[in-house]
Amino acid sequence: MGTSSAVRKEAEALRREIEEHNRRYYVLDDPSIPDAEYDRLFRRLQEIEALHPELMSEDSPTHRVGGNPVSEFSEVRHRTPMLSLSNAFSPEEIEAFDERIRKALDVDRVAYSVEPKFDGLAVSLTYRDGVFIQGATRGDGATGEDVSANLRTVRSIPLRLPRDAGSGDLEVRGEVLMFLADFEKLNHRQRAAGAKEFVNPRNAAAGSLRQLDSRITAQRPLRFFAYGVGTPDPAWRTHSEVLDRLSGFGFPVAGERESASGASGLMAYFNKVGALRDRLPYAIDGVVYKVDRLDWQQALGFISRAPRFAIAHKFPAQEELTEVVGIDVQVGRTGALTPVARLKPVFVGGVTVTNATLHNEDELRRKDVRVGDTVVVRRAGDVIPEVVSVLHDRRPGGTTPFSMPVACPACGSAVTKSPDEAVARCSGGLFCPAQRKQALLHFASRRAMDIEGLGEKLVDQLVDAGVVDTPADLYGLDIATLSRLDRMAEKSASNLLAALEKSRHATLQRFVYALGIRNVGESTARDLAMHFGSLGRMMAASTEELESVPDVGPIVAKSIRQFFDEPHNLQVIDELRRAGVAWVEGGGRPAREPGKSKTFVLTGTLPTMTRDEARAMIEAKGHKVAGSVSKKTDFLVAGEDSGSKLSKARELGVTVLDEGEFLKIIKALE
């Protein structure tokens, strides 16, 4: 008996519906049904296909879960070779590129299609009469590997194209990659399962795409972005048009693509994307400029294996290899010991790096970094450089594993490590000069007592000379003592004394923050000041009372109690008071009843006021400022260059205000 046409129709309808949901989710980033509903549709289609194998089709989304493993990939010869791009690193090279092209074409001005350069793997996808039939890796450019079954599992790759994609063959080219957030999740999963972690999203994508068992690939969060075609349709005029068409056929293309002309236009795009780079959901390693007109591309042709009409303008690499020449241990304000690798200088992420953090003992042990090792160092954006991994096969003979000291390198006190923490700590407290120095720097920092001019070098000198032990000693400094220090001119000495004088008038919030109580950041200090209104009441509070302050949990309450139970700390507070440090008791208006206060988040640069000023206006009315956008946020005040907070607010439907709207609202609020 043949299959009834009702079943056939249902299968067809399910395939279309499922693929539409795939497209909404992976291409448009705008899902319209819950996951459970999607799963139900998917299972129904699987059920029909199991009962009616004759209905199975190549382009069915059920293939996306993977099929039988293969023992090796077969070779695929690319019909048009997959070329590489020449690289450029400097404005001069970009200038020369544009000039070369203008000369060759004998024109004054050339329009370019400009796009991000994805840091993934190039693949080629072949469609015949609108159906995906084959997918291949780039390989050596002429021949790649047939990874069709694996690519079918990538949900952002359409398995069937709309009718207007035409008949015949279409070869789409682009990049397979992994979003950074998906990569983190995958590594988390790998760690939990005791499996090997991947060093970066690119390696994770490569490893996933080259699985012989496509069911494994199906479990990996791969994405695809299209950036070109093998041979364009003769009716298409420009590369921008190619990308528009591909987007229309359902392929994801970079949202950041634009047109630009002239070397200055190219540079402007490079700088713009460079500034945006850390906020993109995926890794890019530069931008690509392509002559937009396809006939001009043809006319320009190729040099060896790269087109003359395009160039990759690379960002400085964020990862480089270098050698570990030593491992030191630094002591932070709270006594935390941080192992730091001293490196042979290396240019990475746009700066020369000589030190990189190894984070803590657990991390150090996991990576097993040793003096003499060749390591991968990473510096992305403003992030502190870190050692990512060790090249074990380059390890010289005779190295020994590094072990953390049992005594503090700064003061010799015992090093302790509680089992629930990755961090080892010096137990010396303020006896430890390293902690003392950090504590002084924190006390003097801008958001604490704001003592201008009291920087690292001066603190080093003051502590090393035995002139200053505690913050209270700062207020006993005089011109005579200061001028005895190295490189201390009278002018800077009197400036420092003036800054100290000014800092005597504080607020309770600043003073509490300046004390450097573990786990008490600025916002907790503010909450404490608001709640207790006086230092005396705060110092006398039990852990239970402390826990009644918003956002103070048992751990924070315990650190506060411990701090005020330490006689040495009480003595410092007393000495500060006697040295004339005073603060306004009370924390502004008392906090409002829960439910009556509004929560604001501030982001970006406001046109006429600083974020601190905006914060003060909000707090003066007893409302709150939070550090991140959540469902509880009432308003996001967004200035120029608002980044992820703005997108998060939009996602959650939080009201977004510009400065003008903010001022109106804050005036109107009770």
- Give the torsion through C-alpha atoms of 565, 568, 574, 580, to 10 deg: -130
DSSP 63: G
Closer to ligand IVH by CB, 122 or 556: give it. 122
Residue 393 CB burial class (10 angstroms; 0-12, 13-18, ≥19): exposed
| Contacts of range 304-308, beta carbons closer than 8 Å, 24 or more positions apart | 305/81, 305/83, 305/84, 305/141, 306/83, 306/84, 306/85, 306/86, 307/83, 307/85, 308/100, 308/101, 308/104
Residue whose C-beta lies closest to ligand IVH: 122
CB of 228 to ligand IVH, least distance (A): 5
CB of 253 to ligand IVH, least distance (A): 9
Closer to ligand IVH by CB, 293 or 359: give it. 293
Handedness of CA 431, 437, 442, 445 (dihedral sign): positive
Closer to ligand IVH by CB, 288 or 552: give it. 288
| Secondary structure element (H or E) that encloses residue 306, with its range | strand 306-307
CA distance 432 to 22: 58
Handedness of CA 454, 455, 458, 463 (dihedral sign): positive
Active-site residue, selected from the candidate residues 9, 103, 117, 632:
117
CB of 241 to ligand IVH, least distance (A): 15
CB of 64 to ligand IVH, least distance (A): 23
CB of 310 to ligand IVH, least distance (A): 5
Tell how strand 222-229 and strand 169-178 pair up.
antiparallel
CA atoms within 13 A on the CB side of 335: 21
- Give the torsion through C-alpha atoms of 59, 61, 66, 67, to 10 deg: -50
- Partners of residue 329 on adjacent β-strands: 339
Instruction: Tell me the H-state helices in 310-432.
Output: 361-367
Closest by CA position to 606, among listed 618, 620, 588: 618
* Size (the chain), residues: 670
Closer to ligand IVH by CB, 120 or 428: give it. 120
CA distance 77 to 75: 7
- Report the interface residues with ligand IVH, using CB under 6 A: 83-85, 115, 117-118, 122, 138, 175, 227-228, 288, 307, 310, 312
CA distance 178 to 281: 9
CA distance 586 to 622: 13
Within 8 A by CB and 6+ apart from 659, the residues are 606, 607, 608, 609, 637, 639
Closer to ligand IVH by CB, 141 or 162: give it. 141
Closer to ligand IVH by CB, 228 or 339: give it. 228
CB of 115 to ligand IVH, least distance (A): 4
Closer to ligand IVH by CB, 283 or 430: give it. 283
By the 8 A CB rule, do 287 and 270 touch?
Answer: yes
Closer to ligand IVH by CB, 179 or 431: give it. 179
Q: Is 103 a catalytic residue?
A: no
CB of 213 to ligand IVH, least distance (A): 25
CB of 427 to ligand IVH, least distance (A): 52
| Secondary structure element (H or E) that encloses residue 131, with its range | strand 131-137
CB of 332 to ligand IVH, least distance (A): 40
By the 8 A CB rule, do 363 and 376 touch?
Answer: no
Closer to ligand IVH by CB, 296 or 662: give it. 296
Catalytic residue list: 117
